[in-house]
């Protein structure tokens, strides 16, 4: 409440007689904090009387008081966003928990038809370690009864498309992923939906001119249309277009597209939100509850699969690193008084993940990365570093801490950037870094909901493959068509 009051006082003084100043980022942040504390009606009254007060506040004493209020407010905000106070005790996964991280290097740069060879290698590596991409009764290197994607699933692929050029997910990888899904060995009869909320940026029907691919003209829209022309049930949905629309769940009788928004949570300084929408094929999707059947008035959560496809990059603007967890900023809405972006540091995205469940698979795009600690998240063609690597895990926290440690920071160093780096920065082994702040607080929310994730490198089993050493040379105990499990040791 105190922070909201101070923010409100500063907002009135700083805006003065010019309401246009309310569009400034600082005023927007103060307005958000005040709104969450006092609600819109009180703010409306205060802003109304602002004009009458402002002339009297232009005395030296009033200016001094406003400066003191500003410093106190900023101090409070700084304290509330401190990365990791030594006195804060973060939750931890059980001691026997092991996170799996899969990593392929030397991804060939050119696609082969719709396939992206590096992704094929990644899924093969996963399968060799027991994580099967296909859910199928017939065991294979990529498939098995406990696999991820069933032949009739509705698969939502969340991409990063807020930024053009190298700032968005690689569309060669996206095309390869959709090709792999529709090539399900049991025949794919389901649906694939590519989705994103670019917040203040337009996705332009997922058809920007400058994309992240070998052929930079290849947009997500081009990818989707290509599969539609082949007869597959593939579409895209722009969550950006519904970010201002507050809706109830289908089970509450609301069939409209929009965002379900939770009540304000002071622990995370914001409000969790998630989209519900109808696809081009008429499927009703709640990202939390699953596929809605209007006839039977019921949800099918098992049939909905969510694949998280972020790009690894420096996020010097605010949070140090963009990877799997930060990518969920494109799932929530920043509108509707949610305070979503500012609340990332408090763990809001972790609470979202806890509410809708872990992604069925995170595929971290490290083909081109922003390896400049003074830059990002926007990444121009000339600002990106080509690494030709991919990372996958079902644990988003483990994928993030491992990729930041083993891929992003070495790339910083290779590009000639030596620590200390400016705040906000990406240092993964510093609990006070901007990156660790939001990652650790997000982890707490996820663990608190009963999902196992870890930021402890000692609990992560990572396996790397360059894609050239034949995996078959290391496979023991597998016979084609058999049911025996096998293990692989990749040098």
pLDDT tens digits for range 159-192: 999 999 999 999 999 999 999 999 999 999 999 9
Of 201, 464, 180, 164, nearest to 330 by C-alpha is 201
Q: Is 274 found in the same domain as 188?
A: yes
Q: Considering the entire predicted model, what is its pTM?
A: 0.81
Q: Dig out the tokens for 168 from the structure.
A: 């968005």
CA distance 341 to 318: 10
Residue 11 lies in a domain: yes
Quickly tell me which residue has 């740069």 as its tokens.
109
Domain stop point among 24, 46, 80: 80
Q: Is 372 found in the same domain as 253?
A: yes
Q: Is 367 found in the same domain as 433?
A: yes
What confidence category does residue 398 fall into, taking pLDDT thresholds of 50, 70 and 90? very high
Give the pLDDT of residue 5.
53
Contact 169, 160 (CB under 8 A): yes
Q: Is 335 found in the same domain as 215?
A: yes
Q: Is 190 found in the same domain as 51?
A: no
Helices 220-229 & 171-182, crossing angle to 10 degrees?
30
Residue 185 lies in a domain: yes
- Kindly report the average pLDDT of the chain as a whole number: 85
Q: Dig out the tokens for 452 from the structure.
A: 């196992």
Q: Is 104 found in the same domain as 33?
A: no
Give yes or no for residue 47 having a pLDDT over 70.
Answer: no
Of 102, 99, 100, nearest to 390 by C-alpha is 102
Q: Is 344 found in the same domain as 229?
A: yes
Give yes or no for residue 279 having a pLDDT over 90.
Answer: yes
Residue 92 lies in a domain: no
Domain stop point among 80, 113, 140: 80
Domain stop point among 80, 115, 143: 80
Residues with Cβ within 8 Å of residue 364, at least 6 apart in sequence: 310, 311, 312, 323, 324, 390, 391, 392, 393, 399, 400, 403
The number of domains in the chain is 2
Residue 317 lies in a domain: yes
Q: Is 189 found in the same domain as 129?
A: yes
Residues with Cβ within 8 Å of residue 120, at least 6 apart in sequence: 176, 180
Q: Dig out the tokens for 17 from the structure.
A: 């007689």
Residue 236 lies in a domain: yes
- Provide the b/e sequence for 408-424 (b: ≥16 CB within 10 Å): bbebbeeeebeeebeeb
Q: Which domain range does residue 289 map to?
A: 99-472
Residues with Cβ within 8 Å of residue 369, at least 6 apart in sequence: 311, 312, 313, 384, 385, 387, 407, 408, 411
Compute the average pLDDT of residues 94-112: 97
Q: Is 357 found in the same domain as 220?
A: yes
Residue 320 lies in a domain: yes
CA distance 452 to 236: 31
Q: Is 333 found in the same domain as 272?
A: yes
Residue 350 lies in a domain: yes
Least confident stretch, 30-34, 113-117, 311-315: 30-34
What confidence category does residue 55 fall into, taking pLDDT thresholds of 50, 70 and 90? very low
Q: Dig out the tokens for 484 from the structure.
A: 């025996």
Q: Is 213 found in the same domain as 180?
A: yes
Residue 94 lies in a domain: no
CA distance 394 to 359: 7
Residue 330, Cβ density class (10 Å: 0-12 exposed, 13-18 middle, ≥19 buried): buried
Give the percent of the chain with pLDDT over 70.
78
Give yes or no for residue 418 having a pLDDT over 60.
Answer: yes
Residues with Cβ within 8 Å of residue 135, at least 6 apart in sequence: 143, 144, 145, 146, 147, 148, 149, 150, 151, 153
What confidence category does residue 289 fall into, taking pLDDT thresholds of 50, 70 and 90? very high
Q: Is 288 found in the same domain as 162?
A: yes
């Amino acid at each position: 409440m105190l922070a909201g009051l101070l923010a409100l006082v500063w907002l009135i003084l700083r805006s003065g007689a010019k309401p246009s100043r309310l569009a400034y980022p600082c005023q927007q942040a103060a307005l958000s904090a005040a709104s969450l504390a006092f609600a819109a009606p009180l703010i409306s009254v205060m802003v109304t009387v602002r004009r009458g007060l402002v002339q009297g506040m232009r005395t030296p004493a009033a200016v001094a008081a406003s400066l003191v209020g500003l410093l106190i407010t900023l101090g409070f905000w700084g304290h509330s966003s401190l990365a990791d106070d030594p006195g804060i005790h973060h939750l931890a996964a059980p001691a026997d928990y092991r996170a799996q991280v899969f990593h392929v290097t030397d991804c060939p740069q050119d696609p082969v038809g719709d396939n992206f060879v590096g992704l094929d290698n990644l899924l093969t590596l996963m399968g060799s370690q027991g994580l099967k991409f296909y859910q199928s009764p017939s065991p294979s290197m990529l498939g098995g009864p406990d696999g991820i994607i069933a032949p009739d699933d509705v698969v939502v692929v969340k991409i990063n498309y807020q930024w053009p050029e190298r700032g968005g997910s690689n569309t060669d990888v996206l095309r390869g992923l959709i090709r792999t899904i529709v090539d399900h060995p049991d025949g794919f009869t389901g649906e694939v939906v590519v989705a994103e909320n670019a917040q203040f940026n337009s996705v332009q029907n997922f058809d920007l001119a400058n994309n992240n691919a070998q052929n930079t003209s290849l947009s997500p829209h081009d990818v989707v249309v290509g599969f539609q022309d082949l007869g597959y049930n593939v579409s895209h949905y722009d969550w950006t277009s519904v970010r201002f629309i507050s809706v109830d769940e289908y089970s509450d009788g609301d069939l409209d597209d929009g965002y379900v928004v939770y009540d304000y949570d002071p622990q995370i300084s914001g409000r969790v939100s998630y989209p519900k929408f109808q696809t081009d094929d008429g499927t009703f999707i709640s990202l939390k509850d699953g596929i809605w059947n209007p006839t039977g008035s019921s949800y099918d959560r098992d049939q909905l699969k969510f694949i998280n496809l972020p790009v690894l990059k420096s996020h010097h603007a605010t949070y140090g690193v963009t990877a799997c967890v930060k990518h969920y900023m494109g799932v929530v809405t920043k509108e509707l008084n949610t305070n979503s972006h500012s609340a990332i540091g408090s763990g809001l995205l972790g609470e979202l993940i806890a509410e809708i469940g872990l992604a069925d698979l995170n595929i971290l795009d490290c083909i081109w990365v922003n390896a400049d600690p003074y830059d990002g998240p926007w990444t121009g063609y000339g600002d990106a570093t080509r690494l030709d690597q991919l990372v996958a895990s079902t644990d988003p926290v483990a994928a993030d801490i491992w990729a930041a440690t083993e891929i992003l920071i070495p790339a910083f160093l290779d590009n000639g950037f030596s620590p200390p780096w400016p705040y906000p920065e990406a240092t993964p082994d510093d609990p006070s870094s901007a990156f660790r702040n939001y990652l650790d607080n997000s982890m707490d929310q996820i663990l608190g909901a009963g999902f196992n994730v870890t930021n402890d490198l000692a609990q992560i089993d990572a396996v790397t493959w360059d894609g050239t050493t034949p995996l078959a040379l290391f496979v023991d105990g597998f016979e084609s068509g058999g049911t025996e499990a096998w293990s692989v040791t990749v040098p």
